[in-house]
Amino acid sequence: MGPRITAIRTHLMQAGPLGVSGWGDVKSSITTGTRNWLFVTVETNAGITGLGEGSGWPRVVETAVGDLAHIVIGQNAFDIERISQRMAVAMMGHGMSGVVGQGAIAAIDMALWDIKGKALGVPVWQLLGGMMRDRIRAYTHASTPEQAKDAVARGYTAIKTGGVANPVAKARAIRAAIGDDCDLMIDLHGPPWLSLPDAISISRELGKLRPLFVEEPLAPENIEGYRALRRAVDVPLAAGERHGGLHGVAPLLFENLVDVIQPDSGRAGGLTGMRKLAAIAEARFATVAPHSGSLGPVAEFAAIHLLAAIPNALILERMDPDWPGRSQVINGAAPRMVDGHVVVPDAPGLGVTLDEAFVAANPSLRNVGLPSGGWPKGTEAATLYSQPRTPRAGILPD
């Protein structure tokens, strides 16, 4: 019999903007001071406290966590799958829960894995099946050749760039700067999202750079577009960060629409949901590269534990450099990097603790914002969700 859950507390904070983003020409919601992180502590009658994070849409997820608390308190903290199912059933009457409901489940689920690891004296990766690897390859972001070369000098062997403004020219310049011994990834997400013809043309051109993957070239709702894109290009495709939970991400795998799945550990139903997605991906010969761009340090550690234990781990996204306060949130326990790889931690549970005073000293102010810089000239005021590139003759540089 495991410990009983006695209380659930939430800790919402305003995080600082990224230090470097691959989206230097597009100011996104996480580069303009609207990034929030939500941490959840789950307390038990055994004196063991677990820590989780649900940063999919933090200010809204906080309300969902509070709404779920009464069906979680009193439960056996070791019954993680049962509690996950219990939370899903409790939200069923509200329809498809999306990133808010799955973010709340993720935060509580993550904390339960932390509790179980601490109670048994083992790291979470041990509970997930044991260690497949003791180091996990990581990538970071760059918007300029200079930023890319700096990251390589710090040991990274994989770089991601992004943007909907001149992505081919930017990717070419960074490939030239880092050479062929480093992997390159290109993120094409909106707004505005690309039209299908533009996504095909751009992805074909990017394929000449031999990228590790091209990420989110189409809007996440455009499943029919992904089917057509898959037939038209041979470049590896990646997606999944914007979907909530197992059932949101899995359709991309069921139809073999992507080669790399990118579940967000703050949106995908926690480690329970991500482990199931990893198994589906393995059955489809796809790999896992968790999203981390908007997430805080607790969700990052959860992703590290997952990647340490699954066979089809590809790479970990890192925001490096990031806001200096990131490591202070977890009392300085930043992931240890060696030669472009994260060293898998061996402390019980997730291996992190929360500096509640620091979190409280950075109260949440706002959590949404409009990006700027990605739309074709003269159209930004309309803030279109998707549109073709214009003038179309200029989308592929000579």
Catalytic residues: 189, 291
Look up residue 320 and give its two tokens.
Answer: 């490096």
Q: What one-letter code names the amino acid at 184?
A: L
Under the phi-then-psi rule, with left for phi > 0, alpha for psi from -120 to 50, and beta for the rest, what region is 396?
Answer: beta
Q: Which of 141, 178, 151 is nearest to 339 (CA)?
A: 151
Note whether 191 and 385 are within 8 A (CB).
Answer: yes
- For residue 396, what are the CA distances in angstroms to 29, 153, 160, 183, 202? 27, 30, 19, 22, 7
Distance CA(99)–CA(210), nearest Å, equals 32
Torsion of CA 386, 390, 395, 398, to 10 degrees: 180
Q: What one-letter code names the amino acid at 42?
A: V
Q: Which of 60, 113, 43, 62 is nearest to 83 (CA)?
A: 113
The alpha carbon of 251 is separated from its chain's Cα centroid by a whole number of angstroms, namely 18
- For residue 58, what are the CA distances in angstroms to 85, 161, 261? 22, 26, 23
The alpha carbon of 340 is separated from its chain's Cα centroid by a whole number of angstroms, namely 19
Residue 214 DSSP symbol: E
Q: For tokens 């806001």, name the residue.
A: 323
The alpha carbon of 7 is separated from its chain's Cα centroid by a whole number of angstroms, namely 27
Antiparallel, parallel or unpaired: β 337-338 and 341-343: antiparallel
Note whether 28 and 58 are within 8 A (CB).
Answer: no
CB contact set of 113 (below 8 Å; sequence gap of 6+): 50, 80, 124, 127, 270, 271, 272, 302, 305, 349, 350
Distance CA(143)–CA(7), nearest Å, equals 44
